[in-house]
Amino acid sequence: MRVLSGQLGGRRRPTIEDVAARAGVSRQTVSRAVNAKGEIHPETRARVLAAIEELGYRPNRLAQGMVTRRTRTVALVAGDIRNPFFGEVAHGAATELGAHDHKLLVMDTYEDAERELAALTELSHDVDGIIAFLYHSELADLEAVATTVPSLVVLNRDVPLPGARVLTIDLVAGGRLVAHHLIARGHRHLAVVVNATQAPGTGRRVSGFLAAAAEAGIEDVVQLPALPSMPGGREVGAELVGAHPEVTGVFAYNDLVAAGLIGAVRRAGLGVPDDLAVVGCDDIALASAWDPPLTTVRIDAEHVGAVAAQHALELLGVGQPAPSGDVFGVELVVRASS
Amino acid sequence: MRVLSGQLGGRRRPTIEDVAARAGVSRQTVSRAVNAKGEIHPETRARVLAAIEELGYRPNRLAQGMVTRRTRTVALVAGDIRNPFFGEVAHGAATELGAHDHKLLVMDTYEDAERELAALTELSHDVDGIIAFLYHSELADLEAVATTVPSLVVLNRDVPLPGARVLTIDLVAGGRLVAHHLIARGHRHLAVVVNATQAPGTGRRVSGFLAAAAEAGIEDVVQLPALPSMPGGREVGAELVGAHPEVTGVFAYNDLVAAGLIGAVRRAGLGVPDDLAVVGCDDIALASAWDPPLTTVRIDAEHVGAVAAQHALELLGVGQPAPSGDVFGVELVVRASS
DNA sequence: ATGAAAGCGCTAACAG
DNA sequence: CTGTTAGCGCTTTCAT
């Protein structure tokens, strides 16, 4: 007999069989009562429910999943849950999933190609659905994942994936908005922080920014690769000050990078926005509390998470259909950093 | 008799049986090769591994769990994953768990008593372990959870739970540090934001703060209940300005509350720290980017998450023993808001 | 309206 | 070292 470490008492968890015995019916009848499936006499049903209550019975999800092939679990695969943006997405998704008795699993990729694929591959066998912010996976790999997992929702990757939902945050527009804003304020020497984990010039927000700048006749935008985090922003801020003193306006990839960048720039003795205008992206809740309050591209992260979850659930045949449309709009929130 | 589903349409996921057939051995032998358990001839092992590779076999976690009674999943139950503090904890925990092939589930409680208990009860049947920031559960309920779930790690609740791990972040000391700091700077009229979801005067950080203030002869500390979020901080900031103009120093419960509070206070025309000194708690990564940079109680959230995960795993008999000791130290980081 | 039988895919215990 | 025998707890046919 095995002793389970950490387990206090010895009582075995009641099974459907125990309930059946107690109620004087068969397992199937209990199952019917629990799942409200198939015809069942109200009186029998009441007796079963009473037995369930008395015994404190809870269906074993594993056993259920074994036969239904569902785990009632959806995973969120994102760069780094420490980024409040993903925290907000996770919150929105978890809330929506919870309303339909599903749970949320989180997995960080660090936007690393290998980790991203490993996460998808591993999860695809263990969860009902995956909601993923993807940056590196090859289409062939994604197709394999889409075939394996019952429900796949891809954000930020405009790939053709039949059977999956491909949702887009309109960051091309976001990037354009930032460029227009900076140029309208008279800035001619621009820089943009690009995600160091991605190919140069790639990424929706960056390409939108570059396109709008080019249209305005500004072709020589400085591109600064950085990790999409506060430390990444610090490094790139120092570099900007040292190597590109002519730049007066920068699009900082996201709010975290903006925070680090602003700190570094000030430490070097320059002022924001006077010497350098800084614009972020995401509009995390705290962006308005900074010094200075951050100009940034607003994304309704919780809404994105909730809608992504709705799509995941719809693909699983649970809940109401998700709203139609596959692009989330963004807007520029002008505060004091630019 | 087996029903074959592979012939016509989509390819069926290979099972251990398929691998066994392909390698010309029994299921048990495949199992041994996969789990590196029991003696197995190296040559046989190689053949099995080859078959696994060719078929792209991955063990079904549900079926495994069915017999091992393990899901390889640990849950983090916390107030609100939108709070970057919990994001950092989640990241630390997920990283540690991932290193041992376990996954992290997240569930928010909003620090609501009912949700907290519901989360614990539901999860206790579905995961191997629970790491929980708890605020409301009765001891009897916790004992029931501890009995059900194989591994329970409780943070922030000093309750006797044999078989579980009860870890403490030394927020009593944190609260004392804040009081000493404020008093040393000459503040005599103090306020403290208390968690509106908890009983007044309760909570480690608050009681530490009040105790140290009392020892210094300050008994009439203003207590302001608020939700532990930025909106909560805004409300309480407005209230502070309107109803308690004599207060010159406030301990804001956590960094989010501090952010909201500072915003509200400024909007009312007062200066921080000149008119009001504000101290937060948690030291989330962004606290140093604010206006002004926030004085706060530093908690190494990622470390807390990682160590909590180590305890959870140790209770499950996985990985190395967690470090001894059950209290996480804190320190006061003095910046410019006080 | 209810029950009986047949597994889902895997591992533990015991043979050989 | 390897195979055989039993289930884990549940739902899905198919009877009755």
CATH, residue A285: 3.40.50.2300
pTM of the model: 0.94
Determine contact: A260 vs chain B, CB below 8 A. yes
B206 in a structural domain:
yes
- What pLDDT shows up at residue B155? 94
On the question of pLDDT at B10 being above 80, the answer is no
Q: Is A189 in the same domain as A257?
A: yes
Alpha-carbon distances, residue B53 vs A15, B29, B50, B264 (angstroms): 37, 16, 5, 61
Mean pLDDT of B181-186: 98
A156 shares its domain with A178: no
List pLDDT tens digits, range A50-73.
999 999 999 999 999 999 999 999
A96 and A151 belong to one structural domain = yes
Higher pLDDT, A255 or A32: A255
Chain-chain contact of A263 with B289 (C-beta, under 8 angstroms) = yes
Helices (H), B99-138: 113-124
Q: In the 3-class helix/strand/coil scheme, how is B26-44 assigned residue by residue? A: CHHHHHHHHHCCCCCCHHH
Cα–Cα distance list, B75 to A334, A336, B133 (Å) = 39, 40, 11
pLDDT tens column, A91-111:
999 999 999 999 999 999 998
pLDDT of residue A201: 73
C-alpha span between A276 and A297 (Å, rounded): 18
Candidates B256, B261, B247; CA nearest to B191 is B247
CB pair distance less than 8 Å for B150 and A285: no
Identify the band that residue A176 occupies on the pLDDT scale cut at 50, 70 and 90.
very high
Nucleotide with minimal C1' distance from the CA of A18 is D9
Residues 15-54 of A with CB under 8 A from B: none
Please indicate whether, in this complex, the C-beta atoms of A84 and B88 are within 8 angstroms of each other: no
Q: Evaluate whether residue A257 is within a structural domain.
A: yes
3-state secondary structure chain A: CCCCCCCCCCCCCCCHHHHHHHHCCCHHHHHHHHHCCCCCCHHHHHHHHHHHHHHCCCCCHHHHHHHHCCCCEEEEEECCCCCHHHHHHHHHHHHHHHCCCCEEEEEECCCCHHHHHHHHHHHHCCCCEEEEECCCCCHHHHHHHHHHCCEEEEECCCCCCCCCEEEEECHHHHHHHHHHHHHHCCCCCEEEEEECCCCCCCCHHHHHHHHHHHHCCCCCCEEEEECCCHHHHHHHHHHHHHHCCCCCEEECCCHHHHHHHHHHHHHCCCCCCCCCEEEEEECCHHHHHECCCCEEEECCHHHHHHHHHHHHHHHCCCCCCCCCCCEECCEEECCCCC
* Interface test with chain B among A34, A55, A62, A80, by most B beta carbons within 10 Å: A62
Would residue B64 count as lying in a domain?
no
Based on the domain organization, do B131 and B236 belong to the same domain?
Answer: no
Cβ contact, residue pair B81, A90, below 8 Å: yes
Contact residues for A139 (Cβ-Cβ < 8 A; gap 6+): A159, A160, A161
Q: What is the pLDDT of residue A7?
A: 39
A187 and A92, same domain (yes or no): no
Is residue A304 over pLDDT 90? yes
Find the residue in B nearest to A126 (Cα).
B61
The neighbouring-strand residues paired with B155 are B133, B167
A334 lies in some domain: no
Quick one: average pLDDT of A194-217? Answer: 92
CB B2 within 8 A of CB B17: no
Q: Quick check: A95 and B108 CB within 8 A?
A: yes
Q: Are strands A327-328 and A190-195 parallel, antiparallel or unpaired?
A: unpaired
Who's near A4: CB < 8 A, 6+ residues apart? B150
Percentage of chain B surpassing pLDDT 90? 85
Among A107, A286, A296, A303, which would you mutate to test the B interface (most chain B Cβ atoms within 10 Å of its Cβ)?
A: A286
User: In the complex, which nucleotide's C1' lies nearest to the CA atom of residue A38?
Assistant: C1
Contact residues for B140 (Cβ-Cβ < 8 A; gap 6+) = none
- Return the CATH number at B20: 1.10.260.40
Say if residues A97 and A103 touch (Cβ distance below 8 Å).
Answer: yes
Q: Using the structure, give the distance in angstroms from the CA atom of B117 to the C1' atom of C5, rounded to a whole number.
A: 39
Indicate whether B257 and B268 sit together in one domain.
Answer: yes
Whether residue A286 and residue B288 make contact (CB cut-off 8 A), yes or no, is: no
The integer distance in angstroms from the CA atom of B165 to the C1' atom of D6 is 36
pLDDT at B5: 32
Write the pLDDT tens digit of every residue in B67-109: 999 999 999 999 999 999 999 999 999 999 999 999 999 999 9
Q: Does one domain contain both A246 and A212?
A: yes
A·B CB contacts under 8 A? 150
Residue A64 lies in a domain: no
Domain for residue B101, yes or no?
yes
B13/B44 same-domain check: yes
Do B157 and B40 fall into the same domain? no
Q: Is B142 helix (H, G, I), strand (E, B) or coil?
A: helix
Q: Which of these three, A34, A59, A84, is where a domain ends?
A: A59
Average pLDDT of the residues of chain A = 93
Q: Which nucleotide is nearest to B5 (CA to C1')?
A: C8
Q: Note whether B220 and B269 are same-domain residues.
A: yes
* Mean pLDDT value across chain B: 93
Span A121-127, average pLDDT: 93
pLDDT tier at A11, thresholds 50, 70, 90: low
CB proximity B288–strand C (7 Å threshold): no
How far, in Å, CA of A113 to CA of A116, rounded? 5
Domain span at residue A207 reads 171-299
Residue with smallest Cα–C1' gap to D1: B40
How far is Cα B150 from Cα B32, in angstroms, rounded to an integer? 25
Residue B4 has pLDDT above 70, yes or no: no
First to last CA, chain A: 68
Domain count, chain B: 3
Residue B338, in any domain of the structure:
no
Asked whether residue A46 falls in the same domain as residue A99, the answer is: no
The answer to whether position B161 is within a domain reads: yes
pLDDT recorded at residue B11: 67
Query: A226-281: per-residue pLDDT in tens?
Result: 999 999 999 999 999 999 999 999 999 999 999 999 999 999 999 999 999 999 99
What is the mean pLDDT of the segment spanning A134-153?
Answer: 92
Q: Which nucleotide's C1' atom has the smallest distance to the CA of B14?
A: C9
Same domain (yes/no): B273, B306: no
